[in-house]
Structure 1
Amino acid sequence: MDTAGKVIKCKAAVAWEPNKPLVIEDIEVAPPQANEVRIKIVATGVCHTDLYHLFEGMHKDGFPAVLGHEGAGIVESVGPGVSEFQPGDRVIPLFISQCRECRFCKSPKTNQCEKGWAADHYDVMALADSRFTCKGKKVLQFMGTSTFSEYTVMNQIAVAKIDPAAPLDKVCLLGCGVCTGFGAAVNTAKVEPGSTCAVFGLGAVGLAAVMGCKDAGAKRIIAVDINSEKAEKAKAFGATDFVNPKDHNKPINQVLVEMTNGGVDYSLECVGKVEVMRTALESCMEAWGVSVIVGWTDMHDIAIRPGHLICGRTWKGSMFGGFKSKDGVAQMVKAYMDKKLMVDEFITHNMTLDQINNAIDLMKDCKCIRTVMSVSPQ
C-alpha cells in the first residue's frame, strides 16, 4: 500500500520519563512537510549518548521522546521542496546538519551548522516540534533523529545519501560512534605520522579513535581503560599498549608521562567524565601536546590550572569527529566499502527493537561495544 502523504502507524521505543525502561508503543508518524523526508529505519546502534539523556541528563523538558541517533534506512517519501532525495534512497540520519548555506557550513574551520535542533535546544536534546504522536500526546524527536522507531521524519539538511550497496545494519554505526572517534583523531587532533597517542575509554568511540590514530600513522598508541578485558580489542584496532589505571598506585597521567618521556603528543578523552578530561590533558607533553575532549557531558564544570595550558598544551573539543556531516558520512561509507575502514568489528551483539532494554542494559553494564538493532525489514 502506498503510504506517501499518509500518517504511518508503526512501532517505536518511547522513553516516557527519565530513568525508566523504554516502552514499545504504536505511534503515528506524520507525512513529511516542506524540505523533509520520511525514512524507514532499517537498523540502529545503541550509543551512550542515548543512555546519557535517559539516566544522567534527564532534562525535564526532554520527555517523552523516541531515542536513538545512530541509524540507517530507506527514504519512504519526501515533502515539498525536496530535490536531493527520492523514495528508495539509502540514507543515514544525521544529528548534525549540513545546510551548506550558513556561515559555519561555508567555513572550513568547523563542522557545526546554524540550523537544526542543536542550534537552540542542545540542553533538551530535541526540538519542541516533532512528527511523532502516541496516545494523543506529542513525542519528541531525540537529537533530530529518533532511530528507535520504524519510521522517522527529518529535514533534508540532516540526511546523508549513501552507496545503495552498503549494508545498512553495519554502516548505521557511521551515524555517530565510528565517525566521532575516528574523526577526533584525524580531523580534530590532526595526529601526525610517528607520533605517540593516548586514548582514554575503549567503547566504540574510543576504539574508533584508536583506529584513527593508526590510520594517521601514529607509531605508539596507548589505550587506557579500567576494564582489562578490552585490551585485546584495542590492539585489534591498532593500539600498541594497554594501561589499566586500577593497576597503578599513582595518577594515570604520571604513569603515561613516565612511559613516554614527558607525555604523549596527542590524547583523546572518549569517556565523558570531567575528571578524565583533565587527566587526558595532563598526560600530554607540556610543550606541544594536544588533548581532545570527545566524550559528551553537560552536567559538570571542569577546572584546570592555567600553567597546564600556558606551557604550550592545546585543549580542543570535537563534535562528530569534525566531519561535515553529509560529506563526511558519505566518505566514510565509501572507505568502508573500499575495505579501508573497520566497522563490522565494532558490533558485538545483534537484537531486534523489542529487545531495546536488553541492549541498554548491555551498555550500562559495559558488556558490549555496539549492539545493532534490527528495526524494519528492508
Structure 2
Amino acid sequence: MAGEEFGTGNFNPNDTKRKTITCKAAVAYGPGEPFVLERVLVHPPHRMEVRIKILFTSICHTDLSAWQGKNEAQRAYPRIFGHEASGIVESVGEGVRDMKEGDFVVPIFNGECEECKYCKCEKTNKCERFGVDGEKKVMDCDGATRFSTMDGKPIFHFLNTSTFTEYTVINSACVVKIHPNGDRDLKPYIKTLTLLSCGISTGVGAAWNTANVHSGSTVAVFGLGAVGLAVAEGARARGASKIIGVDINSDKFIKGRGMGITDFVNPRDDERAVYERIREMTGGGVDYSFECAGNLNVLRDAFLSAHEGWGLTVLLGIHSSPNLLPIHPMELFQGRRMVGSVFGGFKGKTQLPHFAQECMNGVVKLDDFITHELPVEEINEAFDLLVAGKSLRCLLHF
C-alpha cells in the first residue's frame, strides 16, 4: 500500500510532480444520476495547493443530499463529490510549508487559513476564505478546476475537497497533516482516521467543544446515524450519566449500546410527544440535546427535551428546507438555549491533530463506525446502503 511511504518525503517514485496525472474517479453528471467510474485528468497543484493520493474515502449524508440535488445552488456538473477521506501528499504547490510529499493527511471541508480574523478568533472555527461553501466549484486562487475529462472539459470541485477520485487537489488550508503517535506506526489507523474528515469530528466535537458535556450530565441524541452516534461516543467519553438515543429505526439501538447510549426512544412506539417522554425519564429534561436528523419537527422535540433554565440544544442536522425555526420567541425566556455546530467546533489544522492522537490512544472508539468496505467501482451500491439506512460509514478504496 502507498502508506508504506509515510513521512519519507519520497512517496512518488515516478516523479509525477508538476505533471498532469491520469487516474480513476467517480464522476456525477447530474442530480441523482448513477456515478460513472472513468479516467480523468488531475492537474498539478498551484500556489498553496496540495495534490493528494486518496487511500480511503467514505460517504456521508452531505454527499447524499448534494448528489440528489436537494440544494439547487450546488448543482454544477460534471462534478466529483466526496469530502471524507485519508491520503498521502503526492506533491505540494509553491508556498506550502507545513507538509511535504509522503505525509499522511486528512482533508477537511471546513478549512483554516490561520491568517484571517476568524481563524485568529478563539470563539469560532469558521474561516473567512475556506469555510463551508457548498456552492464553491472551482479553486480559490484562479477560479479554475484541477480536474478535467480526457478531452479537456472541466470537472467541478465539491466542498473544498472532492475525494471520490484516486488523486485530488485541495488548498492547503483544507488539508491536515496527522503525525505519528510517538513511536507508533500510522498504518494501522489509516482507515479509522478517514472518519476525522467529517462525521466523527462533527459529532464528538459537538459534545466536547460546542456543548462541553460534563461528567454526570444527561444527554439526548435525536437521529442515530454516524454523526448522532459520534455525539453519543463523545458524551460517553466525557462521562455522561444518561445518554438517550432517539430514532425511528429500532435496529440502530443495538449498535448504539456499544457507543454509550443507555436508553432508547422510538417516536412511533408511543402517542405522547417525544419531549414529554424524555422529560419524564430525566426529571424535567436533559442537560444537552443534539438534533442530528435535519428535521424541523425533530428539532422542536430536541429543544423542548432540554431542561428549563439551563438546557442546551445543539443543531447538527442539515436542513435543506426554506422553512424557519419552529420556536416561538417567548419559549427562549424559559432558559433553554440553541446553537448550531459546524465540524464540531474544531479548528481543523490546529486542533484536529491532537484529536487524532486521542483517537489513536483509544479515548474515542472509531472502529465500530465502519460498517462496510467496498472498492470504488461499487460506489453506487455504497450509496444504496446509505439510503437504505444499512450503513454508518462505508469505506471506498481505489
TM range (shorter): over 0.9
| Residue 201 (structure 1) aligned to one of 220, 223, 247 | 223
SS state of the match for residue 141, structure 1?
A: coil
Q: 2:277 and 2:136 mapped to 1: Cα distance?
A: 37
Amino acid at match of 1:319: V
| Residue 239 (structure 1) aligned to one of 257, 261, 264 | 261
Indicate the residue corresponding to 1:289 in structure 2.
311
SS state of the match for residue 205, structure 1?
A: helix
Indicate the residue corresponding to 1:30 in structure 2.
43
Indicate the residue corresponding to 1:163 in structure 2.
179
Cα distance, 1:117 vs structure 2: 6.0
Does the 8 A contact of 2:134 with 2:158 survive in 1? no
Indicate the residue corresponding to 2:357 in structure 1.
334
Q: Does 1:111 align with 2:133?
A: no
Amino acid at match of 2:357: K
Amino acid at match of 1:96: N
Indicate the residue corresponding to 2:194 in structure 1.
172
Q: 1:3 and 1:268 mapped to 2: Cα distance?
A: 46
Indicate the residue corresponding to 2:26 in structure 1.
13
Q: 2:127 and 2:257 mapped to 1: Cα distance?
A: 35
| Residue 191 (structure 1) aligned to one of 187, 197, 213 | 213
RMSD: 1.4
Q: 2:19 and 2:343 mapped to 1: Cα distance?
A: 34
SS state of the match for residue 254, structure 2?
A: helix
Unpaired stretches in structure 2, ≥5 consecutive residues? 1-13
Q: Does 1:133 align with 2:148?
A: yes
Q: 1:248 and 1:177 mapped to 2: Cα distance?
A: 30
Q: 1:193 and 1:154 mapped to 2: Cα distance?
A: 39
Cα distance, 1:125 vs structure 2: 5.1
Does the 8 A contact of 1:38 with 1:78 survive in 2? yes
Amino acid at match of 2:226: A
Does the 8 A contact of 1:117 with 1:126 survive in 2? no
Amino acid at match of 2:127: C
Amino acid at match of 1:126: K
Q: 1:184 and 1:339 mapped to 2: Cα distance?
A: 19
Greater displacement, 333-342 / 73-82: 333-342
Cα distance, 1:59 vs structure 2: 3.4
| Residue 42 (structure 1) aligned to one of 55, 69, 82 | 55
User: Structure 1 residues 17, 237: closer, same or farther in 2, change over 3 A?
Assistant: same
Could you give the per-residue CA deviations for residues 294-314 of structure 1, whole angstroms, max 9, x where no partner exists? Answer: 112233322211122111111
User: Structure 1 residues 47, 360: closer, same or farther in 2, change over 3 A?
Assistant: same
Cα distance, 1:145 vs structure 2: 0.5
Cα distance, 1:155 vs structure 2: 1.1
SS state of the match for residue 59, structure 1?
A: helix
TM (norm. structure 2) is 0.90
Does the 8 A contact of 1:175 with 1:329 survive in 2? no
Cα distance, 1:133 vs structure 2: 0.8
Q: 1:356 and 1:86 mapped to 2: Cα distance?
A: 30
Amino acid at match of 1:46: I
Q: 1:297 and 1:4 mapped to 2: Cα distance?
A: 41
Fraction of identical pairs, as percent: 45
Could you give the per-residue CA deviations for residues 232-290 of structure 1, whole angstroms, max 9, x where no partner exists? Answer: 21111111101111111122111111211211110001112222122211111122110
Indicate the residue corresponding to 2:246 in structure 1.
224
Greater displacement, 192-201 / 327-336: 327-336
Amino acid at match of 1:95: F
Q: 2:116 and 2:74 mapped to 1: Cα distance?
A: 31
Does the 8 A contact of 1:117 with 1:125 survive in 2? no
Unpaired stretches in structure 1, ≥5 consecutive residues? none
Amino acid at match of 1:246: R
Does the 8 A contact of 1:197 with 1:218 survive in 2? yes
Indicate the residue corresponding to 1:319 in structure 2.
342
| Residue 116 (structure 2) aligned to one of 102, 109, 117 | 102
Greater displacement, 355-364 / 258-267: 258-267
Q: Does 1:73 align with 2:95?
A: no
Q: 1:326 and 1:298 mapped to 2: Cα distance?
A: 28
Could you give the per-residue CA deviations for residues 211-242 of structure 1, whole angstroms, max 9, x where no partner exists? Answer: 11112221111011111111121111111101
Does the 8 A contact of 1:10 with 1:149 survive in 2? yes
User: Structure 1 residues 63, 277: closer, same or farther in 2, change over 3 A?
Assistant: farther
Does the 8 A contact of 2:237 with 2:364 survive in 1? no
User: Structure 1 residues 276, 63: closer, same or farther in 2, change over 3 A?
Assistant: farther
TM (norm. structure 1) is 0.95
Q: 1:60 and 1:241 mapped to 2: Cα distance?
A: 38
SS state of the match for residue 210, structure 2?
A: helix
Q: Does 1:51 align with 2:61?
A: no
Amino acid at match of 1:146: S
Indicate the residue corresponding to 1:353 in structure 2.
376
Does the 8 A contact of 2:222 with 2:291 survive in 1? yes
Indicate the residue corresponding to 1:362 in structure 2.
385
Does the 8 A contact of 2:85 with 2:194 survive in 1? yes
Indicate the residue corresponding to 1:300 in structure 2.
322
Indicate the residue corresponding to 2:3 in structure 1.
none
SS state of the match for residue 76, structure 2?
A: coil
Q: How many residues are aligned here?
A: 372
Does the 8 A contact of 1:169 with 1:374 survive in 2? no
User: Structure 1 residues 334, 60: closer, same or farther in 2, change over 3 A?
Assistant: closer
